[in-house]
Structure 1
Amino acid sequence: MDQSEAGQTRRRGTALEAAILRAAADELAESGYAGLTMDKVAARAGTNKNAIYRRWPNRLALGIAAYRLLATAVAPPDTGNLRDDVLEMLRRANRHWSSPLGAVMRDLLAAAGGASELLAQLPEQSTDSSAATWLTILGRAVARGEAAPEALHPRVATVAIVLLRNEFVLRGVPSAPDDVLIEIVDEVYLPLVRQRMPS
């Protein structure tokens, strides 16, 4: 086989990258982050470890990229009132973080430690994407008169999800009880966004 024929059958660039990511995502789904190895991904993708390392410097970087392939974006709820919207968002996050895929995300968070540049690549941890969703929900509430315009700040908008994340990360719970979600909404979030309204 001459060099031109070899070039036609050998995957390069985006095709090879997609094959590696798909293989890594399949490994994550089957074995979790603990079972993800460069050897297994290379074998599944039909390539060698060097091809992987040229694109991702380590297992964690590959794991995060593969997780992004598995995670799906969902439109924010629009129930017509802020309390129900926030509760639905927290319940979705709770279900996801309690699922096998959520366990992968928690393992990735633990492995990343304080590496903020890696954490920011996780859809649930990306400050910009998370804040945009929460600001959408809060913006609708402001338009309905349920919250103060002054509450439209990323740190205020995302307080509820940060508190729920703390239940998982700091307390190590496998799932947060619904009464915890309700408490976050009723005792912290709603008073916070309403307190900023002029009296």
Structure 2
Amino acid sequence: MSERTRRRGAVLENAITDGAWDVLVEQGYNGFTYEAIAARAGTSKPVLYRRWPQREDLLIATLTRHWRPLDIPDTGSLRQDALALLRTVNAERARTMILMRIQLADYFRETGTDFNDLRSRLRPADQTPPFAKLVDRAIERGELTDVPRPERVVNLPFDLVRHDMLMTMGAVPDEAIVEIVDTVWLPLLDLPTHSTQAGR
């Protein structure tokens, strides 16, 4: 009995999504075809179609398997939590984010979506975004006042780091991470959300 015949369930699905990831990395979304993935995974196209009727379904399954959830730090300090989280993102996600931006450009054009839409699909619906969780913990500890804060402000550190990664196509210098937290983010969290100028 061949290895192809013996594989079942999660073992087979993992082999397929691993092969699909290799195809995506090497050939981008244009090369992300059932034929190429089946050949790489050592299986047949009907096996893939039975599990993922649409190519986008297979793409999401592949990215979900290779987009490891981040460990949320809990140091007892909002500043240290934010720095630790951004450093983890920088170390573990820089290559993947850049890869996704480049190799999935055709996917974004084809579907009319963007990286934020894709990230929402990869994150479980009931999962609190990492920086929102850090802010919630800081409120519980009494570091921050419990006032409404715009989602854009709460998630700003990740957005700025991601921006720098994509602009430079590389990891972000640590001094930039410290600047984002100390100079940009923490002061914004303490500003009352209603302190806008009249007429703006």
Relative to the length of structure 2, the TM-score reads 0.71
Confirm or deny: 8 A CA contact 2:78 2:135 kept in the other structure.
Answer: yes
Q: Give the deviation of 1:158 after TM superposition.
A: 0.9
Residue of structure 2 in register with 1:112 after alignment: 107
Question: How many equivalent pairs are there?
Answer: 181
Distance 1:154 1:127 in 2: 16
Instruction: Show the 5 A alignment for 1:105-144.
Output: 105-113=100-108, 114-116=112-114, 117-123=117-123, 129=127, 131-144=128-141
Q: Aligned pair 1:24/2:17, yes or no?
A: yes
Instruction: Show the 5 A alignment for 1:39-188.
Output: 39-53=35-49, 55-58=52-55, 61-99=57-95, 101-113=96-108, 114-116=112-114, 117-123=117-123, 129=127, 131-169=128-166, 171-188=167-184
Distance 1:32 1:182 in 2: 31
Structure 1 49/119 Cα, relative in aligned 2: closer, same or farther at 3 Å? farther
Distance 1:120 1:163 in 2: 18
Q: Secondary structure at the match of 1:137?
A: helix
Structure 1 56/162 Cα, relative in aligned 2: closer, same or farther at 3 Å? farther
Q: 1:196 aligns with which of 180, 184, 192?
A: 192
Structure 1 73/143 Cα, relative in aligned 2: closer, same or farther at 3 Å? same
Q: Secondary structure at the match of 2:147?
A: helix
Confirm or deny: 8 A CA contact 1:148 1:196 kept in the other structure.
Answer: no
Q: Secondary structure at the match of 1:32?
A: helix
Q: Give the deviation of 1:86 after TM superposition.
A: 0.5
Q: Give the deviation of 1:24 after TM superposition.
A: 2.7
Query: Mind listing any 5+ residue stretches in structure 2 that lack a counterpart?
Result: 195-200
Distance 2:26 2:126 in 1: 25
Query: Mind listing any 5+ residue stretches in structure 1 that lack a counterpart?
Result: 1-8
Confirm or deny: 8 A CA contact 2:18 2:41 kept in the other structure.
Answer: no
